[in-house]
Amino acid sequence: MDIRITQFSDSKSIDAKIIKSAGLALPTFGGWRFNFEKHARNAAFQTYVLVTEETPYAIEGCLIFRLKDEMEPYMAYIEIAPHNKGENRRFDRVAGCLIAFASRLSFIHGKDHFKGWLAFDVLEEREEDEVKLMTVYCQKYGALKWSGTTMVISPEAGEKLIFKFLEQ
Amino acid sequence: MKKESDEILVEDIWNEQKKAGLKEFILSESAKQSEERRLRNELLAIQYRMQDYIESENPTNMLRLMDFVKMYLHTLNVTQKKLAELFEMKDSNLHKYLVGERKLNADLVLKLSSFSHVDPEYWFRVEVKNELIEINKEKAKAKDYQKYDYRNLLAAS
């Protein structure tokens, strides 16, 4: 899917796309938190990467989506590349685009009452980081806190994210 | 440096009780939604599938206009006959357009767009996508078409 992200240094809009990960060398740590290469081998997982048009082999962010019990959408893993974190990051909007894409998948694959509802867990090594991140998910992406570390994005919030990050 | 053993796995944080609790939470939140909102969720899913079909490079199955119209009819629980009435057309006539026996025209595209709340361009692009798939299949027979080369005309004259 064609999308646009923003170059942090000059706010320039950059052509990018979210594609299935097949054929690409996925992150196996080296600054990343998750071993995407390993998880992508799980047949129950759908793995996607965000790349720019200009550098289609450089992964800017990764997403693993799963349909639990063949009906409940779940964002199993999401991470942006280490060079897109912090004050000197290369690109903005990478996380937003991937979360919006996962919401879109929850509309397409979710069944019955689960259509459009995206669940996920926020897990950090330190509890204060976890709380901080959950606040970001609430404020920036409209997620609801369910219990402990689990959050849910509703179809209304998901639709807004899809419009903001994938259709504008 | 991050090690394999440090990684948090999805399986580590899920158990049956948590799974059941989340299911209950989503069901109760979903129950609070209006009928209109629930219908919108279904309709958006079809729209996104249509967009993905148009953008797919090598679709495994060809989806005709009829397939997408059927998805809408199923979701809205109405028949094709009712749709034809709404469109002020004969059912048999509408059917011919939807299965590709007749080429789409602007009038029908605008009706489909108004009916589905999907950009008219998408309906056209489904038809164009399918034509491109057919052309790509025919490319395998490129040799059979070499006789239509303009140079054959020049050579004959």
Give per-10-residue mean pLDDT for chain A (168 aa): 94 95 83 90 94 93 93 94 93 97 98 95 87 94 91 97 93
pLDDT of residue B4: 64
- B19, B22, B35, B119: best to mutate for the A interface, most A CBs within 10 A: B22
pTM of the model: 0.90
- Mark yes or no for CB contact B1/A29 under 8 Å: yes
User: Closest Cα to residue A108, out of B51, B26, B77?
Assistant: B51
- Mark yes or no for CB contact B30/A29 under 8 Å: no
pLDDT of residue B38: 94
For residue A31, which residues of chain B lie inside 8 Å, CB to CB?
2
Positive or negative, the CA dihedral A66, A15, B41, B99 is negative
- Mark yes or no for CB contact A150/B4 under 8 Å: no
CB–CB of B68/B124 below 8 Å? no
- Mark yes or no for CB contact B21/A119 under 8 Å: no
Report which DSSP code applies to A35. Answer: B
Strand pairing of A118-121 and A72-80? parallel
